Structure 1
Amino acid sequence: MDELEVDVAVVGGGACGAMAALRASADPALVVGVFEKSTREGCNAEISSGSLAAGGTRFQREAGIEDSPELHAREILAASGDLANSEVVHALCAAAPEYVEWLADELDYPMEIAGDLPRAGMSVTRLHTDTGRSGGRPLIQHLRAALEERDNVAFVDEAPAVRLTHTGGVVDGVVVAQNGGELRVHAETVVLALDGFAGNPALMKEHCAHLGDPFYGGVSTSTGDALPWLSEVGAELRHLGACLRSGLVVVGHGTRVSPSLPFFGAVLVDLEGRRFVDEEAQGYSKLAGILQHLPGQRASMVWDDEAHAATSDSEMMRETTRAGGYRTHADERSLAEALGLPEETVRAALQPHPGRRPLRAPYHHAWVTHGVLTTQGGAVIDTVGRVLRPDGTPVRGLRAGGGTAVGLAGPESDGYVSGNGLLSAFGMGWLIGNDLAGR
């Protein structure tokens, strides 16, 4: 077996792994190896909206938005109820404005506060994104390009990890598959930054059968490879039944409509023509559970030109438009025909809640159902990503973040707030990398 020695071995080159490698390699004395399963297949951060939740940034201050890491953390914990994870949540929220501004100022990524991306569970505008609303792929590519400029970093593609190596309870490396053989990587620290297990039907059946039979909208590489390795070293695993879900998956297309639509007047109507939920009050993960139990496990999202203009710049809506995922109807009669409902039923359903704007013809509508994007359970970690055992002691030599670590939704998928996934991935990568570099 071929062998290699590095100071830090990062397993996974997505949001968490790339960030951890960038921050750790700021110490020129550290040699960092990043071992990526497959850039061709991609990671979940690449197919995300690329929206970064952060409270207290200069972008918010310039827009007149009052926010703070403390408020951000309180709202996440209010949604999740996961007070046992409070220290990690506060650490991640404190890191968020630092890395958002670092991305813009040090890595020259075109970042701005996204006033067109309101979300349930956020009392203020908190999502930051690139100026072109391009999604997560350009952001991940930007980070990987920055890694290529580091002389003390090696990014190895098509090198899936096979197993951890450990002696006397101390993790001392990882074995990866490469070129038809195996490479034994010796490392003082191994950082597990893999995606979760939502792409593994057996594990989903074992841990998430209560979610029914949702559409899967994640990447093929999310197969839960790290779970047996974590169990082998005695790590505590938590919240394996929680996922990032979406109740906005377009039936027959697999794209999604924007979660911002309800904030511009869009309504949800079930197969019988009833408004079954306060659209602005539901996060898209919680909405998935509601749709799961509706007749036909679907509903119709209806919006108008004003709502469309406010949300159409997002990559999510552009993909749905390209896919032909919605239809446009000139008036209530044609919309009612498309929905198979009496016109008076549709007219009643379109009536706005008090204080909200009415929709005006022409109307757009898409059939939406529930899906799963990523899992939210995983290894219990501390504020610098050290993997913990049930007694609270760390597994020496091992860090974890991203889809490998427990997420921010708490024990149930309903606790997910928009931006939590990239917050836990980029944030923990930032914290791990800084700690390894002695920052």
Structure 2
Amino acid sequence: MSWDAEVDVIVVGGGGGGLVAAITAAQAGQQVALFEKTNLLLGNTAASAGMIPACNTRFQKDLGVEDTVEIMIGDIQKKNHYESDLEQVKAVAEISGPLVEWLNDSLTIEMSVITEFKYPGHTNYRMHAPPSRSGAELMKLLKKNALKYENLYILYQSELQEIITDDAGNAIGITVQTVDGLQQIKGQKIILATNGFGGNKEMVHEYIPEIADAMYFGYEANTGKGILAGKKIGAATSHLTAYQGHAAVNENTGLLVTWGTIMMGGFYINTEGKRFGNEAHGYSEFAKEVLKQPSQYGYIIYDQFIHEQLLSIEDYKQMDEMKAYKKADTIIDLAEKIQVDSGVFLETFENFNSQKDGHPDEFHRTSFEKKLEAPFYAIKVSPALFHTQGGLEINPSAQVLNDEKQVIGNLYAVGGCATGVSGKAAYGYMSGNGLLAAMGFGRIAGLHAVTELQQLSRGI
């Protein structure tokens, strides 16, 4: 076979998972080629809040937070109804702490623990993020690191077409459509980091019809190419019905409204001024509940205290600058500004504000952090599909498996391209699972590929 180029490690996809895998391999001296479908390094990571759940980090210890791998595994498994592979969950939980510290120490991406609130499902403060709490900043800093390495080549507008295998079924290269035409690239290790299929309407309708009518808030380039290419060479898939939804996209600004508005004591109403579920259970599964409402959108209600606490989050700060919310000194005035029935809304508000923390209300919500006090805020929010959580089956080393659960030689999958740790449906998504699976398995795949290549060079 005639090859257009040869490298040690091929990485397909330039999101957070792909960059972490590529930098890991490049740091070890491997020749790495990263193929990005578009002309930008963004991916779903750029649209996220840049928050990575991690346990047993020194950042947590400095704050007196006692968190272990076992606790984190328990939280993830409980949230996904114990539907994810335990060894896979264990692998990302174990790598999470070292990953965050590597980002901070080796890549000089300043990481810190978010302590303003806990996201649904997390029993400890374990979300780590850059200062701006911005995925866009995280991607910018990852790209800056990637560009330091002369042995890491980034090729834009290069779309995966197929994976090339040898007679034994091992992956040995890829066919990629570039600006110079169709090319065949040989690689000793191939890491698929193409995310999922959220941008492929046909696949969304086939596998997750319940969210198909919601807007897609992920990266448009996520069309399932890696999953389809893997299936073509015999890779197994699982949990294709799993996804991360989000119930709080502000369409006017195109920004994601942090669920901290809820977890710090706010609530969600429909256009009739009524609550309709347990908001605190999770923003992913709440998205489909919003779709069932009369106008398929609603409002998050919170107060001045919560507003001030959230100004450290870049997306929320931008919404504040654009005054994307409505503000009023009374609930009646707020009702008028968002055009909902004032009587219904007032009754909803008084009922919510009378609840006691730790005691279940009619929707089984038990978290009522504080009484809301004037002035009050309302921000219009809509449900969205953020990214899919099922894909190619992998083992704890991120190696792709076939239908017989055997490893397909030299092939890895990370992030949305692989089966994640969110079980089989939206209810299984716990905040941060997407970045954890992308960057955690990106780091695992990069390290595993490097180890095997080093062993090969030593004749082991």
Q: Shorter-chain TM-score: which interval? A: over 0.9
Aligned partner of residue 228 in structure 1, secondary structure: helix
Aligned partner of residue 46 in structure 1, secondary structure: helix
2:378 equivalent among 360, 365, 377: 365
Shift of 1:234: 0.8
Aligned partner of residue 345 in structure 1, secondary structure: helix
The number of equivalent residue pairs is 436
Distance, in Å, in 2 between the alignment partners of 1:129 and 1:219 is: 20
Distance change in 2, residues 1:36/1:341 (3 Å): closer
Q: Could you say which residue in structure 2 is the equivalent of 1:197?
A: 197
Q: How does 1:1-40 map to 2 (within 5 A)?
A: 3-28=4-29, 30-40=30-40
Aligned Cα root-mean-square deviation (Å):
1.8
Q: Could you say which residue in structure 2 is the equivalent of 1:394?
A: 407
Distance, in Å, in 2 between the alignment partners of 1:435 and 1:341 is: 56
Distance, in Å, in 2 between the alignment partners of 1:229 and 1:131 is: 37
Q: Could you say which residue in structure 2 is the equivalent of 1:87?
A: 87
Shift of 1:344: 4.1
Q: Could you say which residue in structure 2 is the equivalent of 1:157?
A: 156
Aligned partner of residue 120 in structure 1, secondary structure: coil
Stretch of structure 1 that moved more, 232-241 or 290-299: 290-299
**Is the contact made by 2:35 and 2:159 (CA closer than 8 Å) also made in structure 1?**
yes
Aligned partner of residue 92 in structure 2, secondary structure: helix
Aligned partner of residue 132 in structure 2, secondary structure: coil
Please tell me whether residue 78 in structure 1 is matched to residue 91 in structure 2: no
Aligned partner of residue 373 in structure 1, secondary structure: strand
Q: How does 1:136-285 map to 2 (within 5 A)?
A: 136-168=135-167, 169-280=169-280, 282-285=281-284
**Is the contact made by 2:15 and 2:41 (CA closer than 8 Å) also made in structure 1?**
no
One-letter amino acid of the structure 2 residue matched with residue 150 of structure 1: Y
Q: Could you say which residue in structure 1 is the equivalent of 2:103?
A: 103
Q: How does 1:40-59 map to 2 (within 5 A)?
A: 40=40, 42-59=42-59
Distance change in 2, residues 1:158/1:212 (3 Å): closer
Shift of 1:380: 0.6
Please tell me whether residue 419 in structure 1 is matched to residue 432 in structure 2: yes
Distance change in 2, residues 1:97/1:380 (3 Å): same
Distance, in Å, in 1 between the alignment partners of 2:146 and 2:251 is: 38
Shift of 1:25: 2.2
Q: Could you say which residue in structure 2 is the equivalent of 1:338?
A: 337
Q: Could you say which residue in structure 2 is the equivalent of 1:307?
A: 306
Distance, in Å, in 2 between the alignment partners of 1:334 and 1:124 is: 38
Distance, in Å, in 2 between the alignment partners of 1:337 and 1:19 is: 48
Q: Could you say which residue in structure 2 is the equivalent of 1:287?
A: 286
Distance change in 2, residues 1:212/1:191 (3 Å): closer
Distance, in Å, in 2 between the alignment partners of 1:313 and 1:173 is: 44
Aligned partner of residue 85 in structure 2, secondary structure: helix
One-letter amino acid of the structure 2 residue matched with residue 160 of structure 1: E
Shift of 1:93: 0.7
**Is the contact made by 1:288 and 1:371 (CA closer than 8 Å) also made in structure 2?**
yes
**Is the contact made by 2:84 and 2:423 (CA closer than 8 Å) also made in structure 1?**
no
Distance, in Å, in 1 between the alignment partners of 2:34 and 2:341 is: 58
**Is the contact made by 1:247 and 1:371 (CA closer than 8 Å) also made in structure 2?**
yes
**TM-score, normalising length: structure 1:** 0.94
One-letter amino acid of the structure 2 residue matched with residue 244 of structure 1: Q
Distance change in 2, residues 1:433/1:107 (3 Å): same
Q: Could you say which residue in structure 1 is the equivalent of 2:456?
A: none
Distance, in Å, in 1 between the alignment partners of 2:164 and 2:341 is: 65
Q: Could you say which residue in structure 2 is the equivalent of 1:406?
A: 419
**Percentage identity across aligned positions?**
28
Aligned partner of residue 438 in structure 1, secondary structure: helix
Shift of 1:276: 2.3
Distance, in Å, in 2 between the alignment partners of 1:31 and 1:82 is: 39
Q: Could you say which residue in structure 1 is the equivalent of 2:455?
A: none
Distance, in Å, in 2 between the alignment partners of 1:391 and 1:211 is: 31
One-letter amino acid of the structure 1 residue matched with residue 66 of structure 2: E
Shift of 1:381: 0.1
Structure 2 alignment gaps of length 5 or more: 358-367, 453-460
Distance, in Å, in 2 between the alignment partners of 1:37 and 1:187 is: 18
Aligned partner of residue 428 in structure 1, secondary structure: helix
**Is the contact made by 1:298 and 1:370 (CA closer than 8 Å) also made in structure 2?**
yes
Q: Could you say which residue in structure 1 is the equivalent of 2:397?
A: 384
**Is the contact made by 1:41 and 1:219 (CA closer than 8 Å) also made in structure 2?**
no
Distance, in Å, in 2 between the alignment partners of 1:434 and 1:371 is: 34
Residues 185-206 of structure 1 show CA distances to partners (whole Å, capped at 9, x for unaligned) of: 1111111111211111122122
